[in-house]
Structure 1
Amino acid sequence: MKNISKFSFAMLAMLSCQQLIAQQKSYTVTSPDNKVKVTLIAGKQINWSLSYNGNEVIQPSVAAIRLDGGEIIGNNVKVLSNKTLTVNSKFEAYNYKKKIVTENYRQLTLNCKGGYDFIVRTYNDGIAYRFVLNKTKPVKVMAEDANFKFADDYKVFIPYAHDPRLKGDYYQTSFEALYNEVPLSKVIADSLAFLPMLVDLGNGAKAAVLEAGLEDYPGMYVVKNKDEQHALKADFAKYPAKEELRRLNTLVTERTDYIATVKGNAALPWRAVIVAPDDKTLLNNDMVQKLAGPSRIKDVAWIKPGKVAWDWWNDWNISHVDFKAGINTATYKHYVDFASENKLEYVILDEGWSNSVDMTKLNSAVDLKEIISYAQQKNVGIILWATWHGVMANMNGIFKKYADMGAKGFKIDFFDRDDQKVTSSVYKIAETAAKYHLLVDLHGMYKPDGIQRVYPNVFNFEGVKGLENSKWALNDDVPRYDVSIPFIRMLAGPMDYTPGAMRNANKASYRPINSNPMSQGTRSHQLAMYVIFEAPIQMLADNPTAYRREQESTNFISKVPTVFDETVPLLGKVGEYVAIARRNDDTWYVGAMTNWDARDLEIDLSFLSKGTYEAEIFKDGVNADRDATDYVRELVKVSAREKIKVHLSSGGGWAARIYPAKQ
């Protein structure tokens, strides 16, 4: 009897296993060029895996959504139907690094019992998946299971979210961090990291993890998955239950037990993995643009990108004038004069022009109507700084009041979170600002998620450890970071890095000074940022006095557009060097930067059309390794047949404007 029982148990176990296997369904989705492949297993769970060029990148990883009441979307999957789709089209991009974006992918949609779809797309440069709910009423999302189980112990460039200056809420962060470069096995346990993050697959290939479409849903962090080797998993901020205003920040003091309440027919965010054969290819990636929806603004003619004279970084520290510089009318008129002289489109009035909590209360030293009127006469637009809390207190009233006064936009600061309350508010801010023809610059902010395509009046996002940190940070390796973010952070979209320092320092001479801040690296390194760093509204961070003293550099900055018709990646190795060419009309702009290592590069000009061109070049001077402000400007004739040899000093750069030569 004992033997029969063992035999029966074994048979039952085998039959159960066979039944489970029979219930599982396997699907394969390949990219149009057949180099990217996703394999889906839909059974007890949804598992997806990714291979690139025949090599396994991500091993089977679970995707699921847990709703209130215990329902788990993605468990015990029963596929009712499946549908495939192939798309090969193009769309016009607004305020972007190129005019036309090509959209070429294959898509699989699994319609599943339980009221949801699971959608997978494969592009030639990566994959994306999302859940779409087909419920009849709103639901609470308690948690999301998103996993990235890499095939080996690859090196990862990972930005940790924790800011030691902030206490309390685990998810309160500035989204500013240098990259921790470690094997996946050495990722710090229980430490949140934000996206995008980059994984080195070896032999030059790279993979980047990011997301798109955060409307009404919290942003995704990643943490080490201690139950799997070489794996990361998603973490999300719970919805806030209680908040408290502390000076400029709204801090969460208590959170609920769920991450979001969503509509019954909600399309949840895209989870995406970009793949590239080499570092250089990452410099021209459009994944977030492709995953975002089309523009919701029909008439975009009023949306004008451009450059901005900015006051805060330079501490309003202008000199050789006959008035007391500071947050006052005379100082802002001076900034307007400077902007007008140099054909800059905007001036920002940063913190101090109004009460940061009640924005209807103006600083008595600032006659805003007079400043706006003066700026209008000089063809300069005024952008106003605000806190997220201040805007949310009376969004319609504030936007209408200052739009009626003639303001052109708002720089909104101190979001410092990406829970559902904040991400939902960002879309509402964009929509309401568009109603009043206002531009939006999002500072103190998480990375872009595609809203910049949905609402083209949204220009910039911070979510980057920008130049402002040079006012206080002593030990940051900034040049290395500068040549890392074009391959990682910029995959998500534009950055409010705020370049333009005219006081430049090498490694030995740099020190943080609040009122006269300097940059790490050379002058040409700063000028190259205007070509390399994407920002439809790009700052001039230094003060008018410094720029007038360095008019030759200022002239170059003023001529570089902030949006382009075409982008061509030239050279690049993450953390080491980068070179990019961008075209606007018939003029090309080229930028190159290095880390603290001096190096020689060769810039191939074959991106030029036939004919003779003139190039205005700014390069590191022979003594730039000792005095980082040392540069040389030269004018040379060039053509598409040439390759220019470029020497970059330690922390150096190279920038050029190339235009058709006059016949």
Structure 2
Amino acid sequence: MKHKFFLFVLLMVFGQFAALAQQNYTVQSPDGKIKATVDLKDKITYSVNHENDQMIAPSPISMQLSNGETLGAKPRLKNVKRNTVNKTIPTPVYKRSEIKDNYNEMVLNFRDDYSVIFRAYNDGVAYRFATSKRKDFNVQNEEATFNFDKDYTAIVPYVKQEQTENPTIEQQFDNSFENTYTHSPLTKLDQNHLAFLPVAVEAANGKKLVITEVDLEGYPGMYLLNKNGKTSLSGVFPAYPKKVEQGGHNELQMLVKERENFIAKAKGTRQFPWRAIVIAEEDKELADSDMVYKLAEPSRIKDASWVKPGKVAWDWWNDWNITGVDFEAGINNDTYKHYIDFAAENGIEYVILDEGWAVNKKADLMQVVPEIDLKEIISYGKQKGVDIILWAGYYAFDRDMENIAKHYADMGVKGFKVDFMNRDDQEMVDFFYRAAETGARHKLLMDFHGAYKPTGLQRTYPNVINFEGVHGLEQMKWSPPQVDQVTYDVTMPFIRMLAGPIDYTQGAMRNATKGSYRPIHSEPMSQGTRSRQLAEYVVFESPINMLADTPTNYRKEQESTDFMAAVPEVWDNTVALDGKIGEYIAIARRKGNEWYVGALTNWDPREMELDLSFLGEGNYKAEVFKDGVNAHRNAADYKREVIDVPQDRKLKIKMAPGGGYVARFYKQ
């Protein structure tokens, strides 16, 4: 009997060792289409398949610590834990009122006090490192690799540095995260030029994937680089700043002069950012992805009901260029009262005071120029039902953050547009979180310009209501005709917008065809048609959304203005209707009982048939703004009409070159 018991114990022990000797571990999406396979040999590698197509070939991952330890090298597995989640996430400020969060999770726990967590969703895969060490440590570097089995086409936004010829990698870390896209085979990507996230790759059988990151807290942002001319992308990270100096735009930045030999300071027990790979069988799915929101840390604000999305009458893009008034327009009380009057007339919630209200080159937000009486402007706005948002340079805000937030919140200011961070090393990422938390305590909205792409901060702090990190309409103030903004507009929603909202600042009333566009700083125009500008309020996600043009131009074009001012900023539901990266896009969004549809094309004229089956039963009418018959010659030509929605729910539309189409649907 004792021998049998001993044999039983021996078999049990052997079984446990055999299980730990296993080298491959897999996790599948709930629908079974996506599978991540993790291999544990000399180092941790992973691969990702979508059905029979390999999306990521075996790729090594590791994290090198400054003490010489490498997480992921010669991994010694302790145990594997699995979990399935299927829940609904309510969303206070988003493109739908709730999100379905359904995934399978695999946690690989290793003997050296670290774990690697893999999640498989129906629309992609994500992984992250986590540590449970007793002592804090520094991360010297991270190996984040994305290998491909073929020379696919990548769609990348390279870091743009116009001031420096052949910039070094270090110089490229100072950038505003704004550029158009380059389409290139993986092997032909510039081996000396960083691409900032998100990045897209055209994979097998027409499928696409987008690489980005989520939950960046306490860590630097990741760039991608083809280091060796092969079919591979590798993560590159800015090191922790050792020495910074005030400088840059109007002395409002902190420029890195020297860096440490590590990328991050880390608490002993913590989780590191998610490396996310979003996978789509059809391009349109990328334009409606929830991956970043699903992966992000839940809100730290218990009650976000005070966060008020809205439209903003904006001064800077139109250069304070108002006419027909009896005062000299500029940065002064009379001008801002005029903007407030315009906002009140059109139900616009906010007016922004952009750069110029604080004394220049002082980096001191307590020094207001004598032409401005902020208390008077704020009081005037309140009388009219219009709130004020202030622009702030990064260093001016950061150097006295708590005092500034309290002072202006007490005065009645509702938010800050903070600009010119132009970095995403750990020190700067920490600033974003501190600014979000400080703003939340004082019930201030935060709109980050000069900012890296969203990484979920908008869920963690819903008062962070928008981000730039987009090649927006402001570029049309100075970009030459060779810059193709129209093609960018039908590329960016599938890639950059996947990460989160965009402060694109649309709304141009001067509209140009491909041949008539030119940059004029004080009287800027858009590339593409008027209907395109209107449709962008539906296609683009912007919970705080600028009307970029001047009140003078809007009053001359009241029909267009009425529509722009009335389009919601957040939505109850979103449906991606159709789209192809770089060619066209059509999106439907619902607020309450009304649906809106926006569509954009590239420089090709286009006919489309929209499937409106999402409307359900009933008789619907639609208020439509479409390109006029002469919009190919005069981009401002448009036609507004009210139509009956076909009972078969098939709506045929036409768009001019650089055109757009937008409609509001309501039951009769």
Give the shorter-chain TM-score range.
over 0.9
| Pairs within 5 Å for 1:376-387 | 376-387=382-393
Kindly state the Cα deviation for residue 518 of structure 1 after the two structures are TM-superposed: 0.4
The residue aligned with 1:417 is 423
Q: Deviations along 1:88-129, whole A, 9 cap, x unmatched?
A: 111101211111100110000011011101100000100000
The residue aligned with 1:566 is 573
Kindly state the Cα deviation for residue 41 of structure 1 after the two structures are TM-superposed: 0.7
The residue aligned with 2:3 is none
The verdict on how the C-alpha distance between 1:21 and 1:177 changes in structure 2, with shifts beyond 3 A counting, is farther
Kindly state the Cα deviation for residue 22 of structure 1 after the two structures are TM-superposed: 9.2
CA contact (8 A) 2:245 2:254 kept: yes
Kindly state the Cα deviation for residue 603 of structure 1 after the two structures are TM-superposed: 1.4
The reply on whether 1:69 has 2:67 as its aligned counterpart is: yes
Q: Deviations along 1:446-465, whole A, 9 cap, x unmatched?
A: 00000100100001111110
| Pairs within 5 Å for 1:358-437 | 358-437=364-443
The partner residue of 1:52 within 50, 57, 61 is: 50
The residue aligned with 1:40 is 38
CA contact (8 A) 2:54 2:204 kept: no
The residue aligned with 1:268 is 272
The residue aligned with 1:230 is 231
User: Amino acid of the residue matched to residue 245 of structure 2?
Assistant: E
Tell me the SS of whatever aligns to 1:69: coil
CA contact (8 A) 1:206 1:276 kept: yes
Q: Equivalents in 2 of 1:153, 1:582: separation in Å?
A: 36
| Pairs within 5 Å for 1:218-617 | 218-226=220-228, 229-246=230-247, 247=250, 248-355=252-359, 357-474=363-480, 475-617=482-624
User: Amino acid of the residue matched to residue 393 of structure 1?
Assistant: R
Tell me the SS of whatever aligns to 2:654: strand
Kindly state the Cα deviation for residue 242 of structure 1 after the two structures are TM-superposed: 1.3
Tell me the SS of whatever aligns to 1:76: coil
CA contact (8 A) 1:162 1:192 kept: no
Kindly state the Cα deviation for residue 42 of structure 1 after the two structures are TM-superposed: 1.5
The residue aligned with 2:103 is 105
| Pairs within 5 Å for 1:59-208 | 59-165=57-163, 169-208=171-210
CA contact (8 A) 2:160 2:178 kept: no
Kindly state the Cα deviation for residue 169 of structure 1 after the two structures are TM-superposed: 2.9
CA contact (8 A) 1:24 1:43 kept: no
CA contact (8 A) 2:186 2:232 kept: yes
CA contact (8 A) 2:64 2:141 kept: yes
Aligned residues: CA RMSD? 1.5
User: Amino acid of the residue matched to residue 578 of structure 2?
Assistant: L
The reply on whether 1:622 has 2:629 as its aligned counterpart is: yes
The verdict on how the C-alpha distance between 1:66 and 1:653 changes in structure 2, with shifts beyond 3 A counting, is same
Q: Structure 2: 5+ residue runs without aligned partners?
A: 1-16
Q: Equivalents in 1 of 2:163, 2:607: separation in Å?
A: 40
The residue aligned with 1:10 is none
The residue aligned with 1:11 is none
Tell me the SS of whatever aligns to 1:545: helix
CA contact (8 A) 1:43 1:78 kept: no
CA contact (8 A) 1:24 1:44 kept: no
Q: Equivalents in 2 of 1:268, 1:22: separation in Å?
A: 25
Kindly state the Cα deviation for residue 170 of structure 1 after the two structures are TM-superposed: 3.1
Kindly state the Cα deviation for residue 604 of structure 1 after the two structures are TM-superposed: 1.6
Q: Equivalents in 2 of 1:220, 1:495: separation in Å?
A: 19
User: Amino acid of the residue matched to residue 430 of structure 1?
Assistant: A
User: Amino acid of the residue matched to residue 98 of structure 1?
Assistant: R
The residue aligned with 1:212 is 214
Kindly state the Cα deviation for residue 551 of structure 1 after the two structures are TM-superposed: 0.4
Q: Equivalents in 2 of 1:255, 1:244: separation in Å?
A: 12
The residue aligned with 1:7 is none
Tell me the SS of whatever aligns to 1:169: helix
Q: Deviations along 1:313-337, whole A, 9 cap, x unmatched?
A: 0000000111100000000000000
The verdict on how the C-alpha distance between 1:612 and 1:176 changes in structure 2, with shifts beyond 3 A counting, is same
Q: Equivalents in 1 of 2:86, 2:256: separation in Å?
A: 45
Tell me the SS of whatever aligns to 1:600: strand
Q: Equivalents in 2 of 1:201, 1:570: separation in Å?
A: 22
User: Amino acid of the residue matched to residue 428 of structure 1?
Assistant: R
The residue aligned with 2:6 is none
Q: Equivalents in 1 of 2:192, 2:540: separation in Å?
A: 32
Q: Equivalents in 2 of 1:400, 1:139: separation in Å?
A: 35
CA contact (8 A) 2:419 2:451 kept: yes
Tell me the SS of whatever aligns to 1:173: coil
User: Amino acid of the residue matched to residue 608 of structure 2?
Assistant: L
CA contact (8 A) 2:528 2:657 kept: yes
Tell me the SS of whatever aligns to 2:118: strand
**Farther-moved stretch of structure 1 (114-123 vs 350-359):** 350-359
Kindly state the Cα deviation for residue 606 of structure 1 after the two structures are TM-superposed: 0.9
User: Amino acid of the residue matched to residue 243 of structure 1?
Assistant: V
**Farther-moved stretch of structure 1 (145-154 vs 641-650):** 641-650
Kindly state the Cα deviation for residue 642 of structure 1 after the two structures are TM-superposed: 2.5
CA contact (8 A) 1:610 1:639 kept: no
User: Amino acid of the residue matched to residue 47 of structure 1?
Assistant: T
Q: Equivalents in 2 of 1:453, 1:320: separation in Å?
A: 44
User: Amino acid of the residue matched to residue 269 of structure 2?
Assistant: N
Q: Deviations along 1:30-53, whole A, 9 cap, x unmatched?
A: 111110001101221000001002
Q: Deviations along 1:332-376, whole A, 9 cap, x unmatched?
A: 000000000000110100000113500000011011000000001
Q: Structure 1: 5+ residue runs without aligned partners?
A: 1-18
Tell me the SS of whatever aligns to 2:462: coil
User: Amino acid of the residue matched to residue 315 of structure 1?
Assistant: D
After the TM superposition, which parts of structure 1 deviate over 6 Å for at least 4 consecutive aligned residues?
Answer: 19-22
Q: How many residues align?
A: 642
Q: Equivalents in 2 of 1:149, 1:155: separation in Å?
A: 13
The residue aligned with 1:8 is none
User: Amino acid of the residue matched to residue 265 of structure 1?
Assistant: T
Instruction: Give the TM-score of the pair, scaled to structure 1.
Output: 0.95
Instruction: Give the TM-score of the pair, scaled to structure 2.
Output: 0.95
**Farther-moved stretch of structure 1 (605-614 vs 180-189):** 605-614
The residue aligned with 1:14 is none
Q: Equivalents in 2 of 1:656, 1:366: separation in Å?
A: 40
